[in-house]
Amino acid sequence: MQKIIEIKNLSYIYPDGTVALKDINLDIFKGDSIGMIGPNGAGKTTLLLHLNGILISNGSVKVCELPVNERNLDKIRQRVGLVFQDPDDQLFMPTVFDDVAFGPINMGLDSDRVRIKVDSALKFVDMEDYKDRIGHHLSFGEKKRVSLATIMSMEPDILVLDEPTGNLDLKHRKEFINLLKDMNITKIIATHDMNMVLSICSKVAIMDQGKLIAFDTTEKIFGNKELLAAHGLD
Amino acid sequence: MQHLYIDRYAGLDSFIHKIDPRIKVITFFIFILYIVLTNPFSYLSFLLYGLVILFLIAISRIPFPFIFKKTLAVIPFVVLIAVFVPFIKRGEVLASYTLGSLRIEFTREGIVLFWAIVIKSYLSILCMILLTSSIKFTSLLKSLEKLKIPKLFIMIASFMYRYSFLIIDEAQRMQRAKKSRAFKNKKGLSAVKMLSNIVGVLFIRSYERAERVYLAMCARGFQGEIKTLDTFSIVPRDIMFLVSIFATLLLIQFV
């Protein structure tokens, strides 16, 4: 199998001195679907921000064999699509169409291709009729789905999601999980939603206090009750 | 939460609403130029301008009260500035008063200027309000962008549009949280203190959000310039609108 992300000895300290990541080593293969679980403040989001070069620190992160550094940023950001936790951060343009088109336009596609990509991304999340709607007039569930579309329109190889089901009601949560299930790309999902991890993730990484505690298949991790209990994840 | 005030009637489907936004902006810009450059003594021209605007409002199907209410927000500022003009402008003195050592003179030229400022600004404001109410704010921004207004202004306005509602919501939530914990409305200094706390927290939250939004933009390949697709198309109807308004304005000059 092809190694798609390779993280070696990654540590990160925030400017205020908080140690967010300590010596992380992680290999992710093409087609993997990884659930990243751990208590609040474990460093999950910080790790995700390293995957497309928003944060760059010592240690090495490689995406599709490319080291994440200033020079490769454009290429890496096309391959790694990062969906932020708060859809109001993700959706910053006035209309849904402009938001979904933002990525493809920045990739330098011509306007016809951009339109095709926007249409298919919105169709995928079942929001075709919302093109001209305005960001702040959408419900939370709609915003979440449009957020996903803003990344899908860039057709990334790797989808990185931060808390995709947080704050969603049961119906929308189920719909969203089904959407994710339908996607056959590499996924990395940071979440507190254990049931979602069980239903879509093939592997699970446990993080606590900036360290990668365990990384194994979903069955093995969820079979190890002691490990889960030790990190408050039972 | 829904905030529809700004785009309340922008979704109507009238002749005026269908005009291409760029053409509409240009037409109203020309209209305002004509109003501003008209001789203050040609009262008939002002009357005719007014009638044309009323006619346009009528076919746009935006309720008159809505438009007039909006003009009320601007008029006080205009009057406040214009009201001193008759006393300052030099010319033929109509009346003069002496207040102690202060002599106040009231001139004919001053009154003419006062009238000109008030009527011209009122008509221009009517134009502006009709323009902004018959166009979606997003289309207005896009048309200004196509008309080569600097991108930076467009970006600032579009973020303001996207996030001001969010910040208002946040402020309302904080207000509610405050109310649900404080037993009574305090007055005086402590109320001011409370308010300044809310404003401070709001500022920090907005600042942090701006950071996160910037990250989200970078994650999607932002490189210092926001690009959008052109979705407008000019049809014969638009040109007709521009030409007929222009012709009417010219005609009004000759009456």
Q: What is the per-residue pLDDT for A16?
A: 87
**Inter-chain touch B228–A105, beta carbons under 8 Å:** yes
| Chain A environment of B230 (Cβ under 8 Å) | 111
Least confident interval from A21-30, A96-105, B58-67, B192-201: B192-201
Side-chain-side CA neighbours of B201 within 13 Å: the count stands at 12
Please, what sign has the CA dihedral across residues B53, B54, B57, B59? negative
d(CA A43, CA B180): 34
For residue B215, give Cα distances in angstroms to A52, A138, B62. 11, 22, 40
B229 interfaces chain A, CB cutoff of 8 Å: yes
Cβ contacts of A223 within 8 Å, gap of 6 or more: none
What distance in Å separates the CA atoms of residue B231 and residue A101, rounded to the nearest whole number? 12
For A120-155, write each residue's pLDDT tens digit.
999 999 899 998 888 888 899 999 999 999 999 999
Q: What is the DSSP string of A201-213?
A: -SEEEEEETTEEE
Substitution target from B220, B226, B230 for chain A, most A beta carbons within 10 A: B220
- Nearest residue on chain B to A152, judged by CA atoms? B220
Q: Given this model, what pLDDT does residue B87 score?
A: 79
What confidence tier does B245 reach under pLDDT thresholds 50, 70, 90?
A: very high
Phi, psi of A186 (to 5 degrees): -65, 130
pLDDT in tens, A12-38: 998 888 889 999 999 999 999 999 999
Residue entry with tokens 């290429």: A75
Mean pLDDT of B111-136: 91
Predicted confidence band of residue A213 (pLDDT cuts 50, 70, 90):
very high
Query: Closest to B223 (Cβ–Cβ): which among A92, A93, A106?
Result: A106
* B219: nearest CB among A54, A97, A137: A54
| Helical (H) or strand (E) element with A61 | strand A60-63
Quote the pLDDT of residue B1: 42
A179 is written with which tokens?
């959407």
State which H helix or E strand residue A66 sits in.
Answer: strand A66-67
Token representation of residue B141: 């921004």
Interface confidence (ipTM) of the complex: 0.85
Verdict on whether the full-model pTM lies above 0.90? no
Question: For residue B164, what pLDDT band results from cuts at 50, 70 and 90?
Answer: confident
Would you call B219 and A89 a contact, using CB atoms and an 8 Å cutoff?
A: no
CA angle A155-A159-A163, nearest 5°?
135
The alpha carbon of residue A86 is apart from the nearest alpha carbon of chain B, in Å, by 9
User: Quick one: pLDDT at residue A214?
Assistant: 92
Q: Which of A89, A101, A137 has the CB atom closest to B216's CB atom?
A: A89
Q: Which amino acid is at A174?
A: K
- Residue A83, SS3? strand
What is the mean predicted confidence (pLDDT) over A181-197? Answer: 92
Instruction: Look up residue B47 and give its two tokens.
Output: 């009357």
| pLDDT tens for each residue of A164-185 | 998 888 988 999 999 899 888 9
The answer, for B98 touching chain A at a CB cutoff of 8 Å, is: no
In the predicted structure, residue B97 carries a pLDDT above the cut 50? yes
Beta carbons of B219 and A52 less than 8 angstroms apart = yes
Contacts of A103 in chain B (CB under 8 A): 220-221
Indicate the helix (H) or strand (E) that contains A9: strand A3-13
Q: Is B212 on the interface with A (CB under 8 A)?
A: yes
Are the Cβ atoms of B220 and A150 closer than 8 angstroms?
yes
**A interface residues, B as partner, C-beta within 8 Å:** 49, 52, 54, 74, 77-78, 81-82, 84, 86, 88-95, 97-98, 101-103, 105-107, 111, 114-115, 134-137, 150-151, 154
pLDDT over threshold 90, residue B231: no
What is the Cα–Cα distance from A127 to A141, expressed in whole angstroms? 11
Taking the Cβ of residue B2 and every Cβ of chain A, the question of whether any pair is shorter than 8 Å is answered with yes
Q: How many domains does chain A have?
A: 1
d(CA A162, CA A6): 19
Q: Which of the residue ranges A144-148, B23-27, B79-83, B210-214 would you say has the lowest mean pLDDT?
A: B79-83
Cβ atoms < 10 Å from Cβ of A96: 26
In three-state secondary structure terms, B93 is strand
Q: B7: nearest CA in chain A?
A: A134
Whole-number pLDDT of residue B184? 64
**B213 and A78 in contact by Cβ < 8 A?**
no
**Which DSSP string corresponds to A151-187?**
HHTT--SEEEEESTTTT--HHHHHHHHHHHHT--SEE
Cα A164 to Cα A48: distance, rounded to the nearest angstrom: 13
Instruction: Report the pLDDT averaged over residues B124-146.
Output: 90
Q: Which of A98, A115, A155 to mutate to test the interface with B (most CBs of B within 10 A)?
A: A98
Q: What H or E segment, with its residue span, contains residue A216?
A: strand A211-217
- In a 3-state reduction of DSSP, which class is residue A108? coil
Q: What is the mean pLDDT of chain B?
A: 86
- Answer yes or no: is pLDDT of A59 > 80: no
Label residue B11 exposed, middle or buried (CB < 10 Å: 0-12, 13-18, 19+).
exposed
For the record, the structure tokens of B158 come out as 């579009």
At B243, the pLDDT band (50, 70, 90 cuts) reads very high
The whole-angstrom separation of Cα B54 and Cα A45 is: 56
- The runs of H, that is alpha helices, within B151-235 are 151-181, 189-219
Q: Do B227 and A106 touch (CB under 8 A)?
A: yes
Please state, in angstroms and rounded to a whole number, the distance separating the CA atoms of residues B113 and B122.
Answer: 14
CATH assignment at residue A150 = 3.40.50.300
pLDDT in tens, A78-123: 899 999 999 999 999 988 999 999 999 998 899 999 999 999 999 9
Q: Distance from first CA to last CA of chain B, Å, rounded? A: 51
CB contact at 8 A, A121 and A72: no
Cα of B221 to nearest chain A Cα, Å = 6
Chain B residues in contact with A77 (beta carbon < 8 A): 218-221
B225 contact A CB<8A: no
A127: which 2 tokens?
């929001």
Q: Report d(CA B90, CA A59) in Å as an integer.
A: 76
